[in-house]
Amino acid sequence: MTKHIFVTGGVVSSLGKGLTSASIGLLLEERGLRVRLQKLDPYLNVDPGTMSPYQHGEVYVLDDGTETDLDLGHYERFTHATLNKDCNYTTGKIYLSVIEKERRGDYKGKTVQVIPHVTDEIKSCIRKMVAPDVDVVITEIGGTVGDIEGMPYFEAIRQFALDVGKHNCLFVHLTLVPYLKAAGELKTKPTQRSVRDLREIGIQPDILICRTERDIPKDECEKIALFCNVERNAVIEEKDKEFSIYEVPLSLADNKLDELVVEKLALTQARPLDMSAWRTMLDRMRAPAHEVTIGFVGKYVKHRDAYKSVYESIDHAGIANNAKVRVVRIESDKLAEEGAAQALAGVDGLLVPGGFDKRGIEGKIDAIRFARETGLPFFGICLGLQCATIEFARNVAGLDGANSTEFDKVSPHPVVCLLEEQVNVTNLGGTQRLGAYPCHLVPGTKARAAYGVDVVSERHRHRYEVNNAYREKLSAAGLVFSGTSPSGDLVEAIELPNHPWFVAVQAHPEFLSKPTKSHPLFRDFVGASLARRLGKKPVAVVMK
């Protein structure tokens, strides 16, 4: 029988419900349980694919091509759960389905209402997670209790617990216990209020996780328990982690969260907790032998969440290389003004991530030129590959004015152009080349050496590709196409042979990296950057 954990939030947003949900998932996996995670987002967009990175951070892509909330990235980095299109629902997606049913006449003449039709739809989305090989489903509700747009979700999970039996469900509520400097005290009232909001809807939380910057004194925990009608041992402190988000699961384990969950859901099959792999990873992270600096040239560098998975993957590569990685975030617009040599002075490697639209392109191209000419390790991702192709075409292959048709419709040398399947696409949402596709690697290349296998699968999110009409010219000038689609029609990876490490890929490898298992391309890129820093020849790192 699959059990359910619902994670809700109170007081303020951005408390880290995603991280907490992912951490619970990890703790349960490390107790031998099989988990699935799901996020329900109350906004009206059908998915975050059409949202600006400023609004909602990065768009995280799953194997099946679903464009999802970045919290699903945490789920995948922390656990081994298989995620698919059913793991992220928004109000837009739910209503779309309800309205389609209404148009088809599925409701047989009834008045279609939030309760029961929308709540039924939400409950059916939760039920989709249930499977014989899943012990626990963790469903995170986006937003904060009390938000108008979140109401149908809270109502739906309340009903859900009645449907499947209260003893099969656990309500975990994440709140904030702020410290008031003027009073010199931690304040529990916001937590009390948010639990009151929950209870008004008919949900009594079983476990309260209290985010705090200071230790919560015992008597304050007792007060929270009393006022919130929660057992004392179910008030769990989650103190801010200054060093790394990867410490969160350990601190929750220290506060016995896993025991509480196992006991309350009667997960009798659970084995004792074994966090040794996670601890080893954190120990490596805490005591790195080296330091390395990566220049990161992107358009949204002020917004940390815009490239969330890329930053995480760089950290993972640091762990694999026993190095602390310092990332210098450089705005591509600024780089064009300042000049690449100055902007990249002192960095040991250059990373150009994915992106859309013309702004900042020339700065990225200048940076890549500098890396190519000076032997600075370079890693290009998606748009980074396209910019590297444009730079090579212009400055090595002598194709003046080379560009992508995304940025210059009348370029004399459109070395990057629309994918054929994209030519007649007009809708923006969910219409790119999305999800996992295989890539065949060419023997003897750096990409092949990094992966260690001939065929890999990576997740994509793009509309443009290297123009096949220019492949011959570019390869004659020395560009190596080190990975292609199985038919050879689509360029998946490029590199330069006479350069310490210059590799770019069309896919997004950042979606497949874990702290305990760095993605091979990130690992070798950071390895090559470290080698440059230490004045050594780059060598492939083998993870134990």
The reply on whether position 77 binds ligand GLN by CB under 6 A is: no
Please identify which residue in 3, 264, 462, 532 interacts with ligand GLN, judged by CB under 6 A.
Answer: 462
| Minimum CB distance to ligand GLN, residue 268 (Å) | 46
Q: Which residues contact 533 (CB under 8 A, 6 or more apart)?
A: 290, 291, 292, 293, 348
One of 72, 382, 387, 434 touching ligand GLN (CB under 6 A): 382
> Using the rule CB under 6 A, is 354 a contact of ligand GLN?
yes
For residues 150 and 142, the answer to whether their CB atoms sit within 8 Å is yes
Q: Which residue's CB is nearer to ligand GLN, number 329 or number 533?
A: 329
264 contacts ligand GLN (rule: CB under 6 A): no
- Phi and psi, residue 321, nearest 5°: -100, 10
Residues sharing a CB contact under 8 Å with residue 259, sequence separation 6 or more, in sequence order? none
**Is residue 463 at the binding interface for ligand GLN, with CB under 6 A as the rule?**
yes
Instruction: Say if residue 97 carries a ligand binding annotation.
Output: no
**Residue 406 makes contact with ligand GLN by CB under 6 A:** yes
Q: Which stretch binds ligand GLN (CB under 6 A): 164-172, 197-205, 245-253, 455-463?
A: 455-463
Name the active-site residue from 4, 56, 413, 508.
Answer: 508
86-89's contacts with Cβ under 8 Å and 24+ in sequence apart are 86/38, 86/125, 86/128, 86/129, 87/36, 87/37, 87/38, 87/39, 87/62, 87/129, 88/38, 88/39, 88/40, 88/41, 88/47, 89/38, 89/39, 89/40, 89/41, 89/122, 89/125
Separation in Å, CA 476 to CA 367, 371, 472, 480, 481: 23, 21, 6, 9, 11
Q: Does 188 carry a binding-site annotation?
A: yes
Interacting residues with ligand GLN between 159 and 218 (CB under 6 A): none
- Please choose, from the candidates 197, 175, 199, 198, the residue with its C-alpha nearest in 3D space to the C-alpha of residue 187: 175
| Annotated catalytic residue 87 | no
Q: Does 65 bind ligand GLN (CB under 6 A)?
A: no
Between 186 and 382, CB nearer to ligand GLN? 382
Is 221 considered catalytic here? no
Nearer to ligand GLN, 194 or 506 (CB): 506
List 382, 387, 417, 439, catalytic entry: 382
To the question of whether residue 220 is assigned a binding role by annotation, the answer is no
The verdict on whether residue 148 carries a ligand-binding annotation is: yes
| Region near ligand GLN per CB under 6 A, out of 187-195, 196-204, 209-217, 457-465 | 457-465
510 labelled catalytic? yes
The answer for residues whose C-beta is within 8 angstroms of residue 462's C-beta and 6 or more apart is: 354, 382, 383, 419, 432, 433, 506
Q: Decide the pairing of beta strands 185-186 and 179-180.
A: antiparallel
Is 190:178 a contact under the CB 8 Å cutoff? yes
Binding test (CB under 6 A) with ligand GLN, winner from 95, 107, 227, 356: 356
Which region, judged by CB under 6 A, interacts with ligand GLN, from 27-35, 371-379, 458-466, 516-524? 458-466
Interface residues with ligand GLN (CB under 6 A)? Answer: 354-356, 382-383, 386, 406, 461-464
**Residues marked as catalytic:** 382, 508, 510
